[in-house]
Every structure is written in C-alpha cells, then in structure tokens.
Amino acid sequence: MTTRRQFLAGGAVLLGAALAERATAAPEIQSRDSSDTASPLFNGKAYTPVVTPNGWTLPPRLNNGVKEFHLVAEKVKREFAPGSTINCWGYNGSTPGPTIEAIEGDRVRIFVTNRLPEHTSVHWHGIRLPNGMDGVGGLTQPHIPPGKTYVYEFTLKRSGTFMYHPHSDDMVQVAMGMMGLFIVHPKNPKERPVDRDYCILLHNWDVEAGTATPKSSTMTEFNLWTFNSRAFPGTAPLLAGKGDRVRIRIGNLSMHDHPIHLHGYDVHVTGTDGGWLPKSAQIPEITINVPVGAMRAFELIADEPGDWPMHCHKLHHTMGPMGHNIPNMLGVQHDDIVHKINRLVDGAMAMGETGMAEMQEMKMALPENTLPMMSGDGPFGPLEMGGMFTLLKVRDGLARDDYRDPGWYRHPPGSQAREIDMP
C-alpha cells in the first residue's frame, strides 16, 4: 500500500503507478440509470443541498476527513423523453454524470475509472487547484487508458458552481454527453442561504431522425437541445413553495450560447464562473444568457404561484428534432398541388400554409426513436414545445423537502385569460 505521505511526495512521474495502487481502496461505485430526479442529500445538513432535475448527487465516503468520490467514465443509454433513447457516454450510468456536492474548505479525493473504448481524463472546470490536478490529458497528466483508474485530490478553496468534463478527445467525449456539475457550498451556511437550489447543464446533440447515436463531429447544426440530457416533455419541473428563496444554477457545455428565460419573475444574477457577485452587481434580469463554457446562478423569491415556463429563448432550441430543413410554405396555397401529388403518392400531405401548429395536432407517424418537433400536452391543449423547456411550479404550502410533481396549476376563478364576444 502507498501511504498518504508517499502519495503526496510521489510527483508527476510516479503518479500513474501510485494512483493505480490506491484505486483498490476506491469507494464502492454508485451508479444510476434512471432519469427520475433523485431526492437531495439532506442528512441533517446545515445548508440546502442541490437538486439536479432528472439527475442525482453522488454520495461521498468520508475517509480520515477527506470526502471521497468514485466516477466511472462509461457508455450509457439515456432516455431524452419517452420515445427516444440515445446512445451516450457519461459517468456512473448517466449523462450528465452525478452531481458532486461539497463544502468550501473540504479536501476531496476523486477516483476516476475509465470504462470507455478510448482514453480519457477529467478536468474540474472553474475550480482553483494545483496544476497537476487540472485533468488535461497530455499536459498535466497522462491520459487515463481504458481499464485504468486515476485519482485526483485537492482542497476546495472557494464556493460556487463548477463543472467537470473530459480533456481528452474533448470534441467527441463532450458531444457524447460526458459532463457533470460540481457544487461547492459556502463554509458558513448563513452565507447565501436559499430554500431550494437547482442545477442544470445545457447541451446540444445531433441525432439523425430514425437513429440513436449522436454525430460527434457536428460543429454548429445540432437538432436536439437538452436540460440535464432531457428534452421536453421529458424534463422534470422545478418546484417551489410560495415565498421560498430559489436559486437556479445553469452551466453550459454545449456549442451555443443559451438565453434562458423565466416567465413570471424578475431574477437577480448572483453568481458567475468567477464567483459570487456583490449585492451592488447583482443585475436584475428576466433572460439570463449562459455563454458556452460558462455558469450562471440566479435567485428569486417564489411569491407568485403558478406553472411558469423556463426555456431557452432561441426558439428553435425549444423544439424537437424533426423537420428543421423544411421549405417555407407560409402563405403558399397548395390545395391543388396536393390533389395532383395524391394521384402519384397516396396520402401525401402539404402543410405549413397557415403556420406550423397543425403539425402537433396531426400526430404524424415519426421515424423510430425520434421525438416530434413539437410535443407535450398541457391542461388546455397541446404545448407545442420540445427541447430546452421546463416549468417552475410554485405552490402554496409545499413542504421544504417535497419535490413531487404537484400536477397542473389550478387558476383562481377570474384570474385567467378567456374568450369574449366582440360586438
């Protein structure tokens, strides 16, 4: 066995060998392949633990005051929404990988086992650490070969919202879904307290209709847009009790910026990649642009009950993958043409003359494993959304640890838009 002192004195050259030996002492591998939202790890903590919608938090093992985690890089199958399951790469059975949660000042030791068909590494995006722990394959460490385990160890110097992802064959591995959130709470639980704390990773994918494996070399033309690797109507709602202080943290490892828009509230941006913002710099917003490679945290007081959409405001990012290359038929009268085409092809349809809403009503047959362009049914009809779309559900009298979907909001009488007769 390698002692801790030898381990620290080992230096870069011995790192590989020493770490492989230590790997025998790695914590048990925790894995999860469900896309249900896991309950936060309360366990009598002084701070409010984060909730990863459609995701989970990796439980640590305490070893002589060090918090130990075990990540396993591997192929995973992820249901993006019912009807579409995608062949991804991720960690511990899921994409995004499990959220790592710790406290400022904690020493963490993270074992990384590589079960991928090619080498990998893990970069701790935004975390202040010694250079040799930065996880850049070929630069700060050798790449982790398939079948091998490496260990990273560092002290968390500051609180905030961070991420992890490979820095080996980055383009392919991140495109396939290898990413996770790393949340560090302030040491003093009275600093920045909230009642609910959510974290979401944004991503994009290019999966051809009728197939299940993302095209990892696509640069800009993606057709699937996800919150925590789920597309609406597969995205879990965010819940809040009336009056709760809610924090939403969003990280972006996709290849596009995403202006995330929340209905019904003005929010204050309280944190960026660089840290927390002083009160005087907490700008009020209703749409928070989250640039590529960046994190944003914003907060609100949930004082207005209802079902409030939160979605990317690039509106093709709130749609499913079908038909983004369709010709513009707006205003084109195509009734005669359809008759002529029908003489040649039975059942041919022409659409788009009056807009695209009819697409969802028709419930067209779709290629296998492919989501419709617009989907989701609300209490008053089709929702005509997809992709990066979810709901903040604010309810009266919700218990602090209640994260179950309460169903649709019931509007108080007289508080809803309605049809009237025009003279």
Q: Which residues bind Cu ion (CB under 5 A)?
A: 258, 312, 314, 317
Kindly tell me which of 156 and 290 has the beta carbon lying closer to Cu ion.
290
Name the minimum Å distance from CB 286 to Cu ion. Answer: 16
- Helices and strands of the chain, counted as H and E runs: 5, 23
Task: From residue 18, give the alpha-carbon distance in Å to each of 1, 11, 116, 288.
Answer: 9, 10, 22, 44
The string over 185-210, giving b where at least 16 C-beta atoms fall within 10 Å of a residue's C-beta and e elsewhere, is bbeeeeebebbbbbbbbbbbbbbeee
Residue 258 buriedness (CB in 10 A; 0-12 / 13-18 / 19+): buried
Instruction: Name which of 121 and 204 has its Cβ closer to Cu ion.
Output: 204
User: Which one, 258 or 395, has the nearer CB to Cu ion?
Assistant: 258
Contact 91, 178 (CB under 8 A): yes
In three-state secondary structure terms, 203 is: strand
Name the minimum Å distance from CB 137 to Cu ion: 29
- Minimum CB separation from Cu ion for residue 220, in Å? 12
Residue placing its CB nearer to Cu ion in the complex, 305 or 320: 320
Q: How far is the CB of 251 from Cu ion (least distance, A)?
A: 13
- Please, are residues 245 and 301 in contact by the beta-carbon 8 Å criterion? yes
The rounded distance, in Å, linking the Cα atoms of 379 and 358 is 18
CB of residue 186 to Cu ion, shortest distance in Å: 30
CA distances (Å), 136 to each of 8, 198, 319, 419, in order? Answer: 19, 28, 35, 60
Confirm if 411 and 394 have CB atoms less than 8 A apart: no
| Helix ranges (DSSP H) in 166-324 | 170-175
**Minimum distance from CB of 328 to Cu ion (Å)?**
22
Nearer to Cu ion, 135 or 387 (CB): 387
Q: Smallest distance, Å, CB 314 to Cu ion?
A: 4
Q: Among residues 26 and 374, whose Cβ is nearest to Cu ion?
A: 374
Nearer to Cu ion, 141 or 226 (CB): 226
What the block records as the tokens of 246 is 């809610």
